[in-house]
């Protein structure tokens, strides 16, 4: 805690004045461009690796960058994630939702272990809020991973996105550069796009192409950021060779 306090003092003496100016600039007319869901992992600093600033994004973080499917809420949406979707996309009229997973995700590593029925038993879930969270809200991701793994990990997966009719094909790590847990993380990230679209209060905007859902994936070991390209049907590293093509895809499909 002392390190945090010392950090606050450095902030007061260095960047505070500039940040206050930025706060004043957006105070009366903030125009955030995205709702950004990512993991609570301490290594994930989304404003740094997207070079965004005060007022640019709503950021929502939890274990495993999960957005629970609407089917889990029969009477009320009693969870932070759907509340954040409403606050961002309905109250603040934000047009883009981004889900960002990452490599060596501790939540995804645990989800991979939950393939063991004993480890995932109800008794063990009662002892672990994290296991319960993953078993409840990431089980679909795990099931899709297991089916894909059993089939040889070569066939593409089919996901729905903004609407049931707007489906996309996804090839997962055909070059086999990543660990199995990281492949699961990528599948989980794409599954959240379908989960987001399950909420009725977003339906009209999604169907009218006024609201769009994207997926990013961050490799913490190399610092590379991958964007899921529906045109390429895979996660593509955002770099000097791809950024113009990816930008053109975004303008073509999501403008």
- What gap in Å lies between CA 88 and CA 190, rounded to an integer? 20
pLDDT, position 183: 98
pLDDT in tens, 188-240: 999 999 999 999 999 999 999 999 999 999 999 999 999 999 999 999 999 99
- Whole-number pLDDT of residue 78: 82
H-helix segments, the chain: 2-13, 16-26, 46-49, 80-85, 106-113, 122-127, 129-137, 139-150, 180-196, 203-207, 243-254
Does position 136 have pLDDT exceeding 90, yes or no?
A: yes
Average pLDDT over residues 148-164: 95
Contact status, residue 46 vs residue 52, Cβ threshold 8 Å: yes
Q: Residue 28: pLDDT above 80?
A: no
| Pairing relationship of beta strands 225-229 and 212-218 according to DSSP bridges | antiparallel
User: Which residues sit in the known binding site?
Assistant: 39, 41, 102, 105
| Segment 229-254 mean pLDDT | 94
- 172 - beta bridge partners? none
pLDDT cut 90: percent of the chain above it? 82
Give the separation between CA 225 and CA 50, rounded to whole angstroms: 9
The 8 Å CB, 24+ separation contacts for 226-234 are 228/170, 228/189, 228/190, 230/168, 233/156, 233/168, 233/169, 233/170, 233/171, 234/170, 234/171, 234/172, 234/174
| pTM for the structure as a whole | 0.94
Annotated binding site for Zn(2+): 39, 41, 102, 105
Q: Give residue 165's pLDDT band: very low, low, confident or very high (50, 70, 90).
A: confident
71 has a pLDDT exceeding 80: yes
For residue 143, what are the CA distances in angstroms to 11, 19, 81, 117, 158? 45, 45, 22, 13, 13
Domains and CATH numbers, the chain: 32-253 (3.40.1050.10)
């Amino acid at each position: 805690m002392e390190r945090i306090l010392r950090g606050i003092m450095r902030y007061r003496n260095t960047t505070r004045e500039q940040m206050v100016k930025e706060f004043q600039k957006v105070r009366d007319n903030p125009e955030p461009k995205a709702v950004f869901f990512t993991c609570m992992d301490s290594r994930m600093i989304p404003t740094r690796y997207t070079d965004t600033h005060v007022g640019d994004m709503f950021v929502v973080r939890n274990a495993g960058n999960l957005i629970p499917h609407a089917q889990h809420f029969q009477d009320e949406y009693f969870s932070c994630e759907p509340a954040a979707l409403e606050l961002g996309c309905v109250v603040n009229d934000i047009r883009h939702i981004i889900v960002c997973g990452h490599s060596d995700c501790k939540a995804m590593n645990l989800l991979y272990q939950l393939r063991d029925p004993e480890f995932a038993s109800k008794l063990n879930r009662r002892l672990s809020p994290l296991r319960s969270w993953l078993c409840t809200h990431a089980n679909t991701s795990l099931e899709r991973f297991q089916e894909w793994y059993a089939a040889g990990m070569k066939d593409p997966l089919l996901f729905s996105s903004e609407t049931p009719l707007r489906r996309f094909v996804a090839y997962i790590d055909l070059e086999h550069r990543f660990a199995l847990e990281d492949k699961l993380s990528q599948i989980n990230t794409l599954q959240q796009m379908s989960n987001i679209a399950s909420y009725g209060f977003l339906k009209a905007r999604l169907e009218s192409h006024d609201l769009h859902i994207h997926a990013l994936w961050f490799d913490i070991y190399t610092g590379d950021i991958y964007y899921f390209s529906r045109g390429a049907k895979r996660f593509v590293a955002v770099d000097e060779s791809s950024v113009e093509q990816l930008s053109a895809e975004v303008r073509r499909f999501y403008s």
